[in-house]
Amino acid sequence: MYSIKMRASQNEGHISGAETICEASDIERMIATYFQKGFQHENGEPDFLNLKIEKVNLPIVQIKALPIIDHSQLKLSQLAASSHISQRAIEVAWRYIRNDTCYRGAIILDAYSGERIDEFGERGCRATHFCFKQQREDKIHNERIKDALAIATIFQSNEGVVGELCVSDDLNYTTGYFANHQGYHRLYDLKLKGSREGGRVLFVNQQFHIDAFTYFCQQQPKCVIY
Ligand code: COA
């Protein structure tokens, strides 16, 4: 199997990224798909596009995707409370999402105190080296939801992660999500259209081990199955 990755940027600012793990016979098709995706993004026209192909040498771990929960009346505050995330931690998360810094991955907060516990700076931690496969008959067709569900599932598969709040930094996409062990809860109108504010914040408890988490999210090849 091969890991295929695409990354497009403008003036060194991230525009879009995509990745999968596929058979050798699918590499050409995936590269053509990602090439299109990289050059057709609402965030802007890239001046740099990187395509990376790497052989996967470790066994691929399979993870069951979180269920998608789409109830428009869902409130973040209720979801947070049901995951033992304090109001204070949610307020800190919003500050990170709305501030002027563009974190390149997720930042990690203590679910009780709201204190940032990682030392990844502006880089944050990214979920990478994964693919998403659908086995259900009612397939997801929305590419954003596929990517987001895969990433949310990867983050939630780590011991001690009790929740994740995500707001897309795409200009006009205002739907985000809160993920916890129960599922991937879609949340509507999290920001105003026309803004690049956004980010991913993870909430963790005392069971969390940063080294195991970092290895699993960034090195371990994973296949998320829906
Ligand atoms: N957002 C912002 N910047 C990103 C980025 C992302 N998702 N992915 C990569 N970059 C930029 C960073 O500047 C990074 O340097 P850093 O490691 O110091 O932050 C630089 O590109 C090189 O990163 P690298 O991980 O070597 O890139 P890659 O060529 O292996 O591609 C992607 C990685 C883009 C495929 C992967 O990060 C990605 O985006 N996958 C799609 C799923 C996804 O959105 N994951 C991120 C969720 S947190």
Least confident of 5-19, 113-127, 165-179: 165-179
Residue pLDDT, tens place only, 164-206: 999 988 778 888 999 999 999 999 988 878 887 899 999 999 9
Least confident of 12-21, 38-47, 53-62: 38-47
pLDDT above 80: residue 33: yes
Distances 111 to 48, 84, 89, 107, 189 between C-alpha atoms, Å: 38, 7, 6, 12, 24
The residue contributing the CA closest to ligand 1 atom 32 is 17
Residue pLDDT, tens place only, 43-68: 778 999 999 999 999 999 999 999 99
Section 210-221 average pLDDT: 97
Instruction: Report the predicted TM-score, pTM, of the whole model to 2 decimal places.
Output: 0.94
Q: What pLDDT score was predicted for residue 197?
A: 83
Residue pLDDT, tens place only, 102-117: 899 999 999 999 999 9
Sign for the CA dihedral angle at 38, 216, 86, 186 comes to positive
- Give the distance (Å) from ligand 1 centre to CA of residue 76: 27
Q: Is residue 224 in contact with ligand 1, taking CB distance under 6 Å?
A: no
Q: What pLDDT score was predicted for residue 194?
A: 81
| Location of structure tokens 């990478």 | 128
Q: Is residue 37 in contact with ligand 1, taking CB distance under 6 Å?
A: no
- Give the distance (Å) from ligand 1 centre to CA of residue 81: 31
| CB-based contact 58:169 (threshold 8 Å) | no
Q: Is residue 186 in contact with ligand 1, taking CB distance under 6 Å?
A: no
Q: Which residue has the higher pLDDT, 146 or 196?
A: 146
Element (H, E) at 184: strand 183-187
pLDDT above 90: residue 158: yes
Q: What pLDDT score was predicted for residue 181?
A: 95
Burial 4-40 (b: 16+ CB within 10 A, else e): bbbbbbeeeeebbbbbbbbeeeeeeebeebbeebbee
Closest CA relative to residue 131, chosen from 146, 118, 115, 144: 146
- Give the distance (Å) from ligand 1 centre to CA of residue 78: 32
* Residue 31 to residue 19: CA distance in whole angstroms: 10
User: What are the residues whose beta carbons fall under 8 Å from the beta carbon of 168, sequence distance 6 or more?
Assistant: 144, 148, 175, 176, 198
Q: Is residue 3 in contact with ligand 1, taking CB distance under 6 Å?
A: no
User: What are the residues whose beta carbons fall under 8 Å from the beta carbon of 102, sequence distance 6 or more?
Assistant: 13, 14, 122, 169, 196, 199
- For the record, the structure tokens of 49 come out as 């596009």
* Residue 191 to residue 168: CA distance in whole angstroms: 9
pLDDT above 90: residue 25: yes
* Residue 189 to residue 191: CA distance in whole angstroms: 5
Residue pLDDT, tens place only, 68-101: 999 988 899 999 999 999 999 999 999 999 998 9
Q: What pLDDT score was predicted for residue 8?
A: 95
Residue 64 CB burial class (10 angstroms; 0-12, 13-18, ≥19):
exposed
Q: Is residue 129 in contact with ligand 1, taking CB distance under 6 Å?
A: no
